[in-house]
Structure 1
Amino acid sequence: MPVDIFDIQSAKVQHKTYQSAYAIGSIKVFGNPKKNEDNPFGLGSYLVLKGMGCDEIFCILDMHGQSFGDLFKRCERWFCDKFHFTRLDIAIDDRNEVPYFTIKQLKRKCEREEYIANSNNHRFNESKYQEYSTAKTVYIGAGKSAMSYRFYDKDKEVSMKHDKTLDDIGSWKRTEMQLRDEKAHTFAMLFKDNPFDLGKLAFDLLAGSLRFVVPDKTQSNKSRWKTCRFWKRFLGAVEPLKLHVETPHNTLLETQRWLKEGGVLSAVKAFHFLEVHQALGDLERVEDMLKHVRYSPALGNKLTGHLCRIHREELIPRVQYDTKKG
């Protein structure tokens, strides 16, 4: 991707020396690190991809007949041992009408310490969903540790964020593994060499690092307790998400919804009505006002991301021309 299609802004990353951010859509690359004793030439960059960014990168790679595995191989070829992953999140979705387990079940298991993991640390979070219901999240492992887990009600999260009913969304329970530093890099390199085996890699990792168990009073050694039935069934049946996230909610769709529901379109319609009936008086025509309007950086990024997803990259320079600078 040519550098000139990115929007460049001053930016900082906590605990790092980067001074600039190069953004296109939801893809963000931090660069221009400060020169110091460890980095006298100010070299290096830091790629940050969330769900939508992964989807956009996937679309770009797919247009060229390539995959994330190819991207990782290219990084290895270009930078040898000078690049590494600092974090990698792997998600597994249970979209069954009757889920293999509920977040409430896992919370109860954790409270009773009926699990075996690389960490005994666990915590819970609940946010109000409806008057008599909450959206629950179970965390196992510290957030900054090499490996941690999250289990949450994805259906309720989507419902609250996008104002949809649970019936529209369907049951959706998400399991996430968060890997950091060496574990993240090791997993990425395994995936690079086995790009079609992400499911097996993810479940092998989950099965080998976390078990929910059935207490056995005859065994003082918890590692000898049997794996509980719901966890066995889950590991054997659920399909993992790919590294790119097929996000059903284009951010421009959210902007469109705001236009329709926020009263903006009705105001435009009112001005158009006055113009058609030659009743504007001293007011300006909408067309004349649009000539002086520029996109905000956030809206410009949404537009470029949308154009990447529908393969209309040739329009990106025009969007950038009409976008306000930082």
Structure 2
Amino acid sequence: MIQPKPISNNVLGKVDWFQIVIQGLAWTTVYTDLLQISLDCVTVEDATLKHEDYDVMYTCGPIRYYTYENQSKQLERGTLVMSGQACTMYEWANLAENSQRNVFQELALRIIDLASSSSISFDVKRLDLALDDYNEKTFFDIDLIIGKVSRKQFLSKGRTNTVYDSEFDKRTRSKTQVIGARGSECMFRIYEKGKELAMGLSGVEREVMLKQAPQIRLEAETRKDTANDLFITIAYLTKKETLTNLIRGFVSTELNFYSDTTYRVISRWWSDYLKPSYIPNVHRRYEKSIFEDTLHWFEVQGPYAVTQALFFLSNNGIEILANNAIELPPPLLGQRDDYCWNQDLANKLIDFVTKEKRMDLIPLIHQRTKKPSTPYK
């Protein structure tokens, strides 16, 4: 039986994590005015939040607002945390009243409007956006993604990559491809969502979950300026500029898979997956690339700085011997075309040349990158 081709309408976008710091607002207003949840549904308990000195948490199921028990101090600062489970619950509850609502767009507008008309301020700390592929035959599977990454047939602004592989059952594995670093402005996770949801289930329940859940999920975990800009963009989306298309557009500016390592042709299945799309305006402060940080280290405390110190000492009559009794400083080393970088420095170089719009150099960097050693089995 030939499976139907995947279609874009079966790829759905959603907000999968939302964390925002709000200043100048009581917890009651957060629930009644912003979330539009009755205070009868809210409970309170002692709690702390990492990197904060909060002492209390107001909750409605998985929705949590961390702040201070002292009412005057409470106005200083509080953090609303909505996990993936909380986002889904909040969306379902609101869609039960009207299935056509753009729930998180309405929430974003209420927050922005209140900040514009009062003295409160906000800062989005984290915003995760997800694309769920519900097609019976998905646009791609996890093994295709992992293969492309391992063969260096992708670009994502020099981000690092890691594969997580665990046992799902006696016959199959559950895999996740991560591209990027946790805590950075953007990190991607691509994994088998159905297997994650079916974990711990058995028999009929497991089969039903595997059939109903999205087969493949792509998550973009964003922070700092990127999260704030995406949040504001969501607030002002038109009906044509849907959340799903916004996520597709954002992903297309940050991650692409190619037919080979010349990076000239984007893989057709990836292009089809990201259509139709709406590209948001994401403004980021200029930040030094990792390679530029490495150059700074080289100059101020690395080999260059040490070499200059050795020249200074030598020129002033101080003889220095290295551990192997070689007189220092040695003559400057010449260029070595056969020298290979380790993977970490190669990733930094790729990030740097990408920013300089010299992606033609990436294949050359790959050629001069040390291949990871294969452990004996």
Shorter-chain TM range is 0.5 to 0.7
**Counterpart of 1:106?**
145
Q: Which amino acid aligns with 1:91?
A: A
1:108-144 Cα offsets, whole Å, 9 max, x none, are 1111221111333000101111113110000000011
Q: Which residue of 1 aligns with 2:88?
A: 55
CA deviations on 1:155-194 (whole Å, 9 max, x unpaired) are 2112214333446523611111111121111111111011
Q: Pick from 199, 212, 215 the counterpart of residue 257 of structure 2.
A: 212
Q: Which amino acid aligns with 1:127?
A: S
Over 3 Å counting, the alpha-carbon distance change for 1:31 and 1:114 in structure 2 is same
- Listed as ranges, the matches of 1:169-318 within 5 Å are 169-170=210-211, 172-194=215-237, 196=239, 197-215=242-260, 219=262, 222=263, 225-236=264-275
Distance in 2 between the 1:110 and 1:66 partners?
A: 34
SS at match of 1:16: coil
Give the superposition deviation at 1:31: 0.9
**Which of the residues 71, 78, 82 maps onto 1:45?**
78
Q: 1:116 to 1:176 in 2, by over 3 A?
A: same
Equivalent residue, structure 1, for 2:363? none
Deviations 1:72-111 (A, max 9, x none): 1221222347102111111111122222111111111111
Q: Deviation of residue 206 (structure 1)?
A: 1.0
The one-letter code of the counterpart of 2:172 is: S
Q: Displacement of 1:195 after TM fit?
A: 5.7
Query: Helix, strand or coil: the match of 1:83?
Result: strand
Amino acid at match of 2:231: A
- Aligned counterpart, 1:124: 163
- Amino acid of the residue matched to residue 56 of structure 1? M
1:21 positional shift:
0.6
- Given that 2:165 and 2:176 are in contact with CA atoms closer than 8 Å, whether structure 1 keeps it comes out as yes
**Cα RMSD over matched residues?**
2.8
Q: Contact between 1:119 and 1:140, CA under 8 Å: does it hold in 2?
A: no
Which has the greater radius of gyration?
A: 2
The Cα shift of 1:23 comes to 0.8
Taking the aligned partners of 1:141 and 1:34, their CA distance within structure 2 comes to 39
1:3 Cα deviation (Å)? 4.0
State the distance in 2 between where 1:59 and 1:104 align: 32
Measure the CA separation in 2 of the matches of 1:195 and 1:54. 21
* Distance of aligned partners of 1:57 and 1:96 in 2 relative to their CA distance in 1, 3 Å threshold: closer
1:323: which partner in 2?
Answer: none
- Checking the alignment, whether the CA contact within 8 Å between 1:156 and 1:166 is kept in structure 2 is no
Contact 1:120/1:141 (8 A) holds in 2: yes
Letter in 1 for 2:166: S
For the residues of structure 1 that align with 2:92 and 2:168, how far apart are their CA atoms? 34
- Give the aligned partner of residue 298 of structure 1: none
Q: Tell me the amino acid that sits aligned with residue 161 of structure 2.
A: H
Q: Percent identical across equivalent pairs?
A: 22
Aligned equivalent of 1:14: 50
Query: How many aligned residue pairs are there?
Result: 229
CA positional deviation for 1:34 = 8.7
TM-score of the superposed pair, with normalisation by structure 2: 0.55
Alignment partners' CA distance in 1, 2:62 and 2:187: 25
| SS of alignment partner, residue 124 of structure 2 | coil
- 5+ residue gaps, structure 2, are 1-36, 278-377
Would the aligned equivalents of 1:93 and 1:173 in 2 still touch at CA under 8 Å?
Answer: yes
Q: Which of these residues, 134, 142, 145, is aligned with residue 95 of structure 1?
A: 134
Moved more, 103-112 or 2-11: 2-11
- Inter-partner Cα distance in structure 2 for 1:74 and 1:192: 9
Please identify, of 192-201 and 57-66, the stretch whose mean Cα deviation from structure 2 is larger.
Answer: 57-66
Task: For 2:46, give the aligned amino acid.
Answer: S
Cα contact 2:159–2:179 (8 A) shared by 1: yes
Return the alpha-carbon distance in structure 2 between the equivalents of residues 154 and 66 of structure 1.
23
d(CA) in 2 for partners of 1:79, 1:168: 41
Q: Counterparts of 1:21 and 1:98 in 2: how far apart (Å)?
A: 43
Distance 2:73 2:272 in 1: 54
Tell me which protein shows more helix as a share of its residues: 1
Specify the SS of the correspondent of 2:131: strand
**Structure 2 CA distance, aligned partners of 1:90 and 1:72?**
14
Deviation at 1:199, TM superposition (A): 1.9
Match of 2:159, SS state, is coil
Does structure 1 retain, via aligned residues, the 8 Å contact 2:63–2:81? Answer: yes
Give distance in 2, aligned partners of 1:8 and 1:182.
31
TM-score by length of 1: 0.63
